[in-house]
Amino acid sequence: MSDENVLFEVKDSHLDTGMRGIPVGTCRTSFVDPIDGVHYAGYPIADLADIDPEDAAFLLFNKRIPNEKESQEFRQDLISRSNLPSGSTDLFTAIGTGTGHPMDWLSIGIMSLGRGEVENDIFSDAMNLIAWMPELMARLFMMRGGRGELVNPSNPSLGMAGNFVSMLGVEGDDAVRAERILRSFLVLHMDHGGGNLSTFAGKSVASGRASLFASIASAMNALSGPLHGRANQSCLEFVQKVGTSDPNEVESFVRSELAAKRPIFGFGHAVLRAEDPRATVQMKIGEEVCPDDPLFATVRTLREVAPRVLGENPKISNPNANVDLVSGTLLHNAGFRKPDYYTTFFGWARVIGISAQIVDERNSRGGKGVPIYRPKYLARDQPVRRL
């Protein structure tokens, strides 16, 4: 690409819009098409829904699907890295059962894992963190929930989702269903282009050569906001509030929420202009694993009714379902009954995609790495004054 290419003309109207749509760099892990949704290294997400999270992680780091041998080697590598640095979850005891949002625990936990940092090897740090996440998550759930130690010790050969479910002590058919739902949740949520807030936050902190752990913890703090990752918590709470799957009642509910100027959670998107394929995939999973779940029945009716009602408002660019419409209901069905924990699953998935993007940026410019981020802010309403 020649330097003369004009990619974007910044106008006054672009200022103070959160850099919306302004190109700032390149991303090799994924891109988001307004109609077909996110693609990981070129593969549409709908085609990847059934792969294992380990293979999706390999894809994001290596930009290709692993063959059988590579897949096994990647899993073995994660297994060999899986012992948490000693004492890294002691802080959880200090915070105290039930206090603080689970996303705060996730961020603190990742910072604490930083004691296992490998000097000058950000790729090893990324692989270690990915290998440590299942146990960190399980300890977070057990300790914040006041249940103390893991029910079963970590067994990384079960895979990241299977190991997490096992550490919590879920058994039998419940474990099979929980693992199925979690595996697809992790794959579907790993990456979403380079400019979403948490990814951008993580990469900008990393550009100052902060550690991978500090950068990812910053990303998790960004993800915790209600306008960003915490929306999946709000979506389940919304579905629970609807409380019916009768189409007429659901339509009245949607209209009354709109009249009260409240959002219809699970619909609309800043970039997508069709139903998010991740919602489509999760609807299929719901039909497979929990077609009779009353919450899923509500989601099914909402998906039929809400786009029609929202579509009556020409201001709404996309009245269709987004990823959060279904994900909370599936997690609830998997046995995770507390919506305030849902963003931690989202965070776990994003640790993988954001780490891959940070490693890419650190390897750019022939290994020099991306320069420290420094966008320009224009001075307005600040005449020079003297005391």
Stretch of 217-225, 242-250, 257-265, 337-345 contacting ligand AMX, by CB under 6 A: 257-265
Stretch of 2-10, 57-65, 202-210, 321-329 contacting ligand AMX, by CB under 6 A: 321-329
CA pair distance 232, 287, nearest whole angstrom: 20
Stretch of 40-48, 278-286, 318-326, 352-360 contacting ligand AMX, by CB under 6 A: 318-326
- Coil, helix or strand at residue 44: strand
Does residue 189 carry a catalytic annotation? no
CA pair distance 224, 239, nearest whole angstrom: 20
The answer for residues whose C-beta is within 8 angstroms of residue 379's C-beta and 6 or more apart is: none
**Least gap, CB of 32 to ligand AMX (angstroms):** 11
269, 276, 332, 360: the active-site residue: 269
Q: Tell me which amino acid residue 201 is.
A: A
Interface with ligand AMX includes 263 (CB under 6 A)? yes
Residue whose CB is less far from ligand AMX, 169 or 311: 311
Interface with ligand AMX includes 316 (CB under 6 A)? yes
33, 101, 104, 228: the active-site residue: 228
Interface with ligand AMX includes 269 (CB under 6 A)? yes
User: Which position among 122, 231, 309, 330 is part of the footprint of ligand AMX (CB under 6 A)?
Assistant: 231
Does residue 246 carry a catalytic annotation? no
User: Which long-range contacts does 82-88 make (Cβ < 8 Å, 24+ apart)?
Assistant: 82/131, 82/132, 82/134, 82/135, 82/154, 82/156, 84/113, 84/116, 84/132, 84/135, 84/136, 85/113, 85/115, 85/116, 85/132, 87/115, 88/112, 88/113, 88/115, 88/116, 88/132, 88/136
Strands 43-44 and 30-33, how do they pair? unpaired
CA pair distance 111, 129, nearest whole angstrom: 11
**Least gap, CB of 318 to ligand AMX (angstroms):** 6
User: Which position among 15, 24, 118, 270 is part of the footprint of ligand AMX (CB under 6 A)?
Assistant: 270
Helix (H) or strand (E) holding 330, with range, is: helix 324-333
Look up tokens 């408002």; give the residue: 313
**Least gap, CB of 364 to ligand AMX (angstroms):** 27
User: Which position among 204, 224, 322, 327 is part of the footprint of ligand AMX (CB under 6 A)?
Assistant: 322
Stretch of 76-84, 119-127, 218-226, 258-266 contacting ligand AMX, by CB under 6 A: 258-266
The answer for residues whose C-beta is within 8 angstroms of residue 219's C-beta and 6 or more apart is: 198, 199, 201, 202, 205, 350, 351, 354
Residue whose CB is less far from ligand AMX, 19 or 151: 19
Interface with ligand AMX includes 254 (CB under 6 A)? no
Burial of 302 per CB tally in 10 Å (0-12, 13-18, 19+): buried
For residues 126 and 359, the answer to whether their CB atoms sit within 8 Å is yes
52, 125, 276, 324: the active-site residue: 324
Stretch of 21-29, 112-120, 309-317, 330-338 contacting ligand AMX, by CB under 6 A: 309-317
For residues 271 and 223, the answer to whether their CB atoms sit within 8 Å is no
Interface with ligand AMX includes 317 (CB under 6 A)? yes
Interface with ligand AMX includes 92 (CB under 6 A)? no
**Least gap, CB of 5 to ligand AMX (angstroms):** 27
User: Which position among 61, 185, 253, 267 is part of the footprint of ligand AMX (CB under 6 A)?
Assistant: 267
Helix spans in 148-230 (H): 159-167, 172-189, 197-207, 212-223
Look up tokens 């100052």; give the residue: 208
**Least gap, CB of 172 to ligand AMX (angstroms):** 33
Bridge partners of 37, per DSSP, are 33
Q: Which two tokens stand for residue 4?
A: 């003369």
Interface with ligand AMX includes 324 (CB under 6 A)? yes
Residue whose CB is less far from ligand AMX, 147 or 273: 273
Residue whose CB is less far from ligand AMX, 142 or 295: 295
Does residue 16 carry a catalytic annotation? no
Chain contacts with ligand AMX (rule: CB under 6 A): 231, 235, 263-270, 310, 315-318, 322-324
Active-site residue numbers?
228, 269, 324
